[in-house]
């Protein structure tokens, strides 16, 4: 009786013309990752956000999405890389970014607005601007990370983005080795996203009952496409992390 290995070789040889290596597992590509600057999240993602792919950071208001994205950009800009923040809701706060360690000179900020000039106009117009801006930035190349901030956009509007658009972004991000981070209240990119992080507020940290000096956030890995083959026990899919206020960090320093 032939052994299993010999049988497998025989079948593969027979099917070689139609299906090369039909029964041999495809070697998995281990993706390059970029650290987020939050050790708990890096541990959850096996190193950080994947380079050349779409990562989605989702959650409601005050769930730590922006803090996590700024921490990621801080790591990128401090490594002499250039990043972009496409702000569909014009909600970006440069002071918070600077406090997080983002080198603002290396950050291109695109503030979308409605044609009338009012930032809080029709959401689809601003969303359209943001998508066009992402297209241009991805085509230009050279940006290590681009954040598409749809954090204040209602999920109904975000879900209207065609899947073809996300597919195009995924291809362009892969070609230009750019981390495209999408902030939103829900996941929009579906199968085009390499990683989906679901954030949730946990608890505030106070000092003396009168000062808010930090937050704890909960983060859960909703989806991860390029996970390397794991041996042994799996890591927990959720974790918590904390963000402190800027003045608190200065005092500690």
Partner 1 sequence: MSDELYACVCAAEFPAQALLRLRTELQSEPVAALEGRAPLETVCSLNRAAHLKGAVLGMTRLEAEGLAGVRLLARSVEVEAAARAVLLECVSQFSPRIEEVCMATTSAFVLDISGTGLLFGPPETLAQRLRAALTTAGFRASIAVSANFHVARLKAATSRAVTVIPEGQETTALAKLTLAALNLEENYAETFAIWGIRTLGELAALPEVDLIARLGQQARLWRDLARGVATHTFQPIEAEFTLKEFFDFETPVEEMDSLLFIGARMIDCLVTRASARALSLASLTVEMRLAGGRQHKRVIRPALPSVDRKFLLKLLQLEIAAHPPQAAVLSFTLTAEAGQSSKVQLGLFAPQTPEPSRLDVTIARLKAIAGEDRVGSPVLEDTHRSGSFRMESFSVSGVTAGSKASGPRMALRRMRPPVPVRVQLHTTTPAAFRDAEGNHEITAAYGPWRSASCWWSFVGWDEEEWDVLAQAGNGTTVALLLVQDRSKNEWRLEAYYD
CA-based nearest residue to 179, from 13, 2, 25, 32: 32
* Beta carbons within 8 Å of 114's beta carbon, 6+ residues apart: 120, 121, 122, 125, 126
Q: 169: which 2 tokens? A: 């972004």
Phi, psi of 194 (to 5 degrees): -85, -35
Q: To the nearest whole angstrom, how small is the minimum distance from the Cβ of residue 149 to partner 1?
A: 9
The CA R_g of the chain, rounded to the nearest whole Å, is 21
| Burial track 39-75 (b if 16+ CB lie within 10 A, e otherwise) | eebbebbbbbbbbbbbbbbbbeeebbbbbbbbbbbbb
Q: Measured between alpha carbons, how far is 31 from 173 in angstroms, rounded to an integer?
A: 13
Q: Which is nearer to partner 1, 5 or 253 (CB)?
A: 253
Mask for 52-81, x = binds partner 1 (CB under 8 A): --------xxxxxxxxx-xx--xx-xxxxx
Q: To the nearest whole angstrom, how small is the minimum distance from the Cβ of residue 84 to partner 1?
A: 9
Q: Which is nearer to partner 1, 12 or 90 (CB)?
A: 90
The residues in 88-127 that bind partner 1, with binding defined as CB under 8 A, are 89-101, 103-113, 117, 119-120
CB–CB of 54/196 below 8 Å? no
Q: To the nearest whole angstrom, how small is the minimum distance from the Cβ of residue 128 to partner 1?
A: 9
Which residue in 160, 171, 191, 206 binds partner 1 (CB under 8 A)? 206
Which residue in 49, 54, 143, 187 binds partner 1 (CB under 8 A)? 143
Q: To the nearest whole angstrom, how small is the minimum distance from the Cβ of residue 98 to partner 1?
A: 6
Q: Which is nearer to partner 1, 37 or 123 (CB)?
A: 37
CB–CB of 214/248 below 8 Å? yes
Which residue in 14, 15, 21, 140 binds partner 1 (CB under 8 A)? 140
Assess 43 for contact with partner 1 (CB under 8 A): no
Q: Which is nearer to partner 1, 21 or 211 (CB)?
A: 211
CB–CB of 135/101 below 8 Å? no
Assess 37 for contact with partner 1 (CB under 8 A): yes
Q: Which is nearer to partner 1, 39 or 228 (CB)?
A: 39
Q: Which is nearer to partner 1, 19 or 247 (CB)?
A: 247
The residues in 151-170 that bind partner 1, with binding defined as CB under 8 A, are 151-152
Instruction: Please count the other Cβ atoms lying within 10 Å of the Cβ belonging to residue 217.
Output: 24
Assess 243 for contact with partner 1 (CB under 8 A): yes
């Amino acid at each position: 009786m032939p052994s299993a290995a010999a049988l497998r070789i025989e079948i593969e040889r027979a099917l070689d013309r139609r299906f090369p290596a039909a029964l041999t597992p495809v070697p998995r590509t281990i993706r390059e990752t970029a650290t987020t600057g939050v050790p708990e999240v890096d541990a959850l993602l096996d190193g950080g956000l994947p380079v050349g792919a779409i990562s989605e950071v989702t959650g409601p208001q005050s769930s730590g999405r922006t803090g996590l994205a700024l921490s990621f950009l801080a790591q990128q800009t401090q490594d002499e890389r250039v990043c972009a923040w496409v702000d569909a809701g014009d909600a970006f706060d440069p002071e918070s970014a600077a406090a997080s360690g983002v080198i603002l000179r290396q950050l291109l900020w695109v503030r979308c607005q409605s044609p009338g000039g009012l930032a809080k106009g029709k959401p689809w117009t601003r969303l359209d601007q943001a998508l066009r801006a992402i297209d241009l930035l991805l085509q230009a190349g050279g940006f290590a990370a681009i954040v598409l901030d749809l954090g204040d956009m209602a999920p109904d509007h975000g879900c209207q983005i065609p899947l073809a658009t996300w597919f195009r972004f995924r291809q362009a991000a892969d070609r230009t080795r750019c981390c495209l981070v999408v902030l939103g209240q829900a996941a929009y990119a579906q199968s085009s996203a390499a990683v989906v992080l679901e954030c949730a507020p946990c608890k505030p940290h106070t000092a003396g009952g009168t000062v808010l000096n930090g937050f704890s956030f909960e983060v859960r890995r909703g989806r991860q496409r390029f996970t390397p083959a794991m041996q042994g026990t799996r890591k927990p899919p959720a974790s918590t992390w904390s963000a402190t206020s800027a003045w608190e960090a200065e005092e500690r320093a």
